[in-house]
Amino acid sequence: MRILVTGCTFLQVNPQRRVIKKIDVPQSIVETLIALGHDVDWRLVNVGEDLSGYDAAFVCLAPITSTNARKGALGALWTLSEKRNMPVAALFDDWQFPAVFNGFRALKRNPEYLNKIIWGERFFFSETEETVAQHKDELVQTAEELLGPAWKRILPVCPMYRWGDREKVLAKMPDEISSVFALDPSPTIYESMSSVKYNGEKERAWIMAALMPHGEWLEKKEPTWRVDLFGSRKLKAERLKTEEDVIMQYHLRWGALSPPYNHAGGGWWRSRFLYSASAGTVLVCDKGEGAPIGPSYNLIIPKVEALSDAELGALAKQQQDELRPWLTSWTDWENDIQDIFVRAKNLYNGALHV
């Protein structure tokens, strides 16, 4: 198959320069598709271009009105238009996916957003004013359809573990989305985890790696151990350059904290479950999120902090044992990548005959 992969943000449209080595699910998908023998074109799409030479498209989503999406958002909308006449799968690349629909609503309410100027240049700087004006109606219509009817022909894909109540995620999506394709990217980071070795002492301290602020949640938990923050500089947290650096930080501490998402329990994929288990570190997460895995994930911070080092080691081993049956293999990953396009084609063909 000849497959087009594109998206909204800088990372989603295959940047040639990557300052920080981080988990990149779209990149892993592209590399796997190529290894499986597909002809993959991963790039920025421009509004108005002819995409008829592709057998299918895979579009990575982000809030189209966010500054992160300035580069590729309109090209993504162009690709997602019903007029492209091809099977399409769309990846919700972030747990804050409701903001994606908010972006579509914003454009529906105010089509003039397409001509917004910021910092003295066009907000959607990859497109000219003339091109946008020529295709304005189709772009706005596509955004409106993505609030509902478009999902009768587009396959929604979410990074998810095998466990979880999907209804918790579906409840925050349009009614037309009755199910999502759960893609577990865990196998893509197994090599990174196995490459990190540490045989030293662990500190009785917590690691919390996050890109979003969780200060209010942390204050309510009142940990007595030191909490070391990693992730975003805007949160006054240390920023690490590679995933291996992040994994090592889990090895150095006895505890890891996992603040809840607003759809906790849905099984959304978070690397901290794997990093904690691989490092022999105890993970404390939201009760609703950990319960599907096993009883060892039903923890509170004071109980963990009261354990001896030997007891902490035993608890971490129990978490490893309960997590292991849920883990997927590289073969599972490859089969799922193939299945995405089979299902996208079936959904598209079914929509043609409605």
Q: What is the pLDDT of residues 164-180, one digit of tens each?
A: 999 999 999 999 999 99
Q: Average pLDDT of 24-40?
A: 95
| 49: pLDDT strictly greater than 70 | yes
| 8 A C-beta contact, residue 146 and residue 104 | yes
pLDDT band at 212 (very low <50, low <70, confident <90, very high): low
Same domain, 9 and 153: yes
Q: What phi and psi, each to the nearest 5 degrees, are found at residue 348?
A: -65, -45
Q: How far is CA 169 from CA 92, 96, 145, 334, in A?
A: 11, 10, 20, 24
Same domain, 28 and 66: yes
Q: Are residues 243 and 307 in the same domain?
A: yes
% of the chain exceeding 70 in pLDDT:
95
In degrees, to the nearest 5, what angle opens at C-alpha 2 toward C-alphas 85 and 66? 65
Six token digits for residue 263: 């759809």
The mean of the pLDDT values for the chain is 92
Residue 61 pLDDT grade (very low, low, confident, very high; cuts 50, 70, 90): very high
CATH of the domain at 225: 3.40.50.2000
- For residue 307, pLDDT over 80 is answered with yes
Q: Residue 265: its pLDDT value, please?
A: 85
- In this structure, the answer to whether residues 94 and 164 fall within a common structural domain is yes
Residue 9 has a pLDDT of: 94
Please, which pLDDT band fits residue 151 given cuts at 50, 70 and 90?
A: very high
Q: How many CB atoms lie within 10 A of CB 125?
A: 11
Q: Tens digit of pLDDT for each residue in 84-136?
A: 999 999 999 888 899 999 999 999 999 999 999 998 899 999 999 999 999 99
Percentage of the chain beyond pLDDT 90 is 80
User: Are 309 and 264 members of one domain?
Assistant: yes
Parent domain of 311: 189-326
The DSSP-derived string for 167-195 is HHHHTTS-TT----EEE--GGGGHHHHHH
Short-list 9, 149, 5, CA closest to 88 = 5
Q: Identify whether residues 173 and 138 lie together within a single domain.
A: yes
Split into its structural domains, the chain has a count of: 2
Q: What is the tens place of the pLDDT at every residue in 247-284? A: 999 999 999 999 887 788 899 999 999 999 999 999 99
Assign residue 16 the CATH number of its domain.
Answer: 3.40.50
Q: What does pTM read for this prediction?
A: 0.92
Which residues does 35 contact at the CB level (< 8 Å), separation at least 6? Answer: 334
Spatial distance between the Cα atoms of 26 and 32, rounded to a whole number of angstroms: 10
Are 265 and 321 in a shared domain?
yes
Sign (positive or negative) of CA dihedral 255, 259, 264, 268: negative
Banded model confidence at residue 211, pLDDT cuts 50, 70, 90? low
pLDDT at residue 60 greater than cutoff 90: yes
Query: Do 245 and 277 lie in a common domain?
Result: yes
pLDDT digits (tens, 9 = 90+) for 312-328: 999 999 999 999 999 99
Instruction: Summarize the confidence of residues 42-62 as an average pLDDT.
Output: 97
- Rounded mean pLDDT, 220-246: 80
Q: Are residues 267 and 139 in the same domain?
A: no
Beta carbons of 225 and 205 less than 8 angstroms apart: yes
Do 265 and 296 have their domain in common? yes
Rounded to 5°, the CA angle 127-88-74 comes to 15
Look at residues 123, 126, 103, 107 and name the one whose alpha carbon lies nearest to residue 13: 126
* HEC-encoded secondary structure of 118-167: ECCEECCCCCCHHHHHHHHHHHHHHHHHCCCHHHHCEEEEEEECCCCCCH
Residue 284 in tokens: 């404390």
Q: Which of 91, 11, 89 is nearest to 57 (CA)?
A: 89
**pLDDT, average across residues 201-221:** 79
Which one has a higher pLDDT value, 236 or 343? 343
3-state helix, strand, coil in the chain (%, to 5): 45, 15, 35
Whether 78 and 43 have beta carbons less than 8 Å apart is answered as no
Same-domain pairing of 158 and 221? no
Residue 323 makes CB contacts below 8 A (sequence gap 6+) with: 273, 274, 277, 293, 294
